[in-house]
Amino acid sequence: MILLYVPCPDKITAQKIAQSLLEEKLVGCANIIPGMESMYWWEGKIETSSEYILILKTLKRSDAQERVTKRVMELHPYEVPCVMTLPVLGINESYKKWLEESMK
């Protein structure tokens, strides 16, 4: 399994990206977490914004990360979106089977 971490500007954007990726069977599950405060450099000054975190779960296939990342980049409104792949050290077998079935 592969996890992708994607900060989004609002709930609607996170839902739109998740819905598209689920419909296209690029991911089997998406979690939307509200209430994150981000601080970052942008155009020479420190900015602060509220964001929603989108966590995407997909199968560990040869091109899965690239396909999901490409699609997120097409859908995301940020000029420089963050699409970060996180390592998964293990997963219970029943969830793995469910994820595989969900993405067929």
> What are the structural domains of the chain?
2-102 (3.30.70.120)
Mean pLDDT value of segment 44-51: 97
Residue 20: both structure tokens together: 């598209």
In this prediction, residue 60 has a pLDDT band, given cuts at 50, 70 and 90, of confident
- Given a cut of 90, whether residue 28 has pLDDT beyond it is yes
- Given a cut of 80, whether residue 65 has pLDDT beyond it is yes
Q: Report whether 94 contacts 54 (CB < 8 A).
A: no
Mean pLDDT value of segment 6-17: 98
At 61 the pLDDT is 82
- Given a cut of 90, whether residue 19 has pLDDT beyond it is yes
Residue 10: both structure tokens together: 């609002």
Q: Report whether 85 contacts 2 (CB < 8 A).
A: yes
Q: What is the mean pLDDT of the chain?
A: 96
Residue 58 three-state SS: strand
82 DSSP assignment: -
